[in-house]
């Protein structure tokens, strides 16, 4: 019964797509192109998410498209294999010609009211969103700060995607690297930026407290946890 129900949900609510291309940019990072008739004519907004079924409608992982071509029926996502779960296994094993089922796009973070500058503070899982926010459809500067495991590998990725100016902070076991991100908050706050906090749940909590201590209005803080150690499918 679960298999039959899963197939029914996929057929009714998901869009079928084929993997058109897979490019390994750096260790654990792969740029994935998906295409198919079901992806044509889609009204996509930068910042929206898709969920890809990992063999079942009940097991899915979330990705932020970096672009969407509604005429060609094509989208691209940045996959990051940062663990041993089904999402990481999917990213590692993907090859052109593979097929998948997609739910969305739909809202993850509502950035519609954030017309001015943005400050995106996140990690490796946030880079796709950062690239999407460079869309010509959106006005306003985007300043990024990322905490990462491998600075050299991530540097290759952000440079490839046109995010050359994004400072990277190597994770430390005691979490003191976050102070480097916090040091930028006064300048970003003075510029009137809306803060977009994504990535690791505990880092988001710490940065939110730092912003609160600066009396940054709640309307200028948007947050979405993508992952936490030992937990899956937060978004």
Q: How many CB atoms lie within 10 A of CB 141?
A: 12
pLDDT of residue 190: 97
Q: What is the pLDDT of residue 6?
A: 62
* ∠ CA 83-84-85, rounded to 5°: 100
DSSP codes, 119-139 = EEEEEGGGHHHHHHTT-TT--
| Residues facing residue 50 across a β-bridge | 63
- pLDDT tens-place string over residues 210-227: 999 999 999 999 999 999
pLDDT value, residue 143: 97
What residue ranges define each of the domains in the chain, with the CATH number in brackets?
Answer: 2-106 (2.40.30.10), 118-227 (3.40.50.80)
pLDDT at 115: 75
Give the position of tokens 């993508």: 226
pLDDT in tens, 172-201: 999 999 999 999 999 999 999 999 999 999
* pLDDT tens for each residue of the chain, 235 residues long: 447 666 666 666 789 999 999 999 999 999 999 999 999 999 998 889 999 998 777 788 999 999 999 999 999 999 999 888 899 999 999 999 999 999 999 988 888 777 789 999 999 999 999 999 988 777 789 999 999 999 999 999 999 999 999 999 999 999 999 999 999 999 999 999 999 999 999 999 999 999 999 999 999 999 999 999 877 656 6
Beta bridge partners of 196: 120, 222
């Amino acid at each position: 019964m679960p298999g039959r129900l899963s197939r029914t949900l996929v057929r009714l609510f998901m869009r079928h797509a084929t993997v058109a291309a897979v490019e390994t940019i750096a260790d654990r990072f792969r740029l994935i192109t998906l295409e198919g008739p079901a992806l044509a004519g889609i009204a996509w907004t930068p910042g929206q998410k898709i969920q890809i079924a990992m063999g079942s409608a009940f097991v899915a992982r979330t990705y932020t498209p970096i672009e969407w071509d509604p005429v060609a029926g094509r989208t691209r996502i940045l996959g990051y294999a940062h663990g041993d779960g089904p999402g990481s296994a999917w990213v590692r094993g993907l090859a052109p010609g593979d097929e998948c089922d997609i739910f969305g796009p739909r809202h993850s973070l509502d950035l519609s009211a954030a017309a001015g500058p943005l400050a995106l503070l996140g990690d490796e899982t946030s880079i796709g969103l950062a690239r999407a926010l460079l869309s010509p459809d959106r006005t306003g500067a985007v300043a990024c700060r990322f905490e990462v495991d491998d600075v050299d590998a991530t540097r290759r990725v952000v440079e490839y995607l046109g995010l050359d100016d994004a400072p990277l902070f190597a994770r430390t076991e005691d979490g003191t690297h976050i102070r480097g991100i916090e040091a930028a908050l006064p300048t970003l706050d003075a510029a009137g930026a809306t803060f977009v906090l994504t990535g690791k749940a505990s880092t988001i909590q710490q940065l939110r407290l730092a912003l609160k201590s600066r009396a940054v209005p709640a309307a200028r803080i948007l947050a979405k946890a993508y992952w936490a150690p030992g937990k899956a499918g937060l978004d």
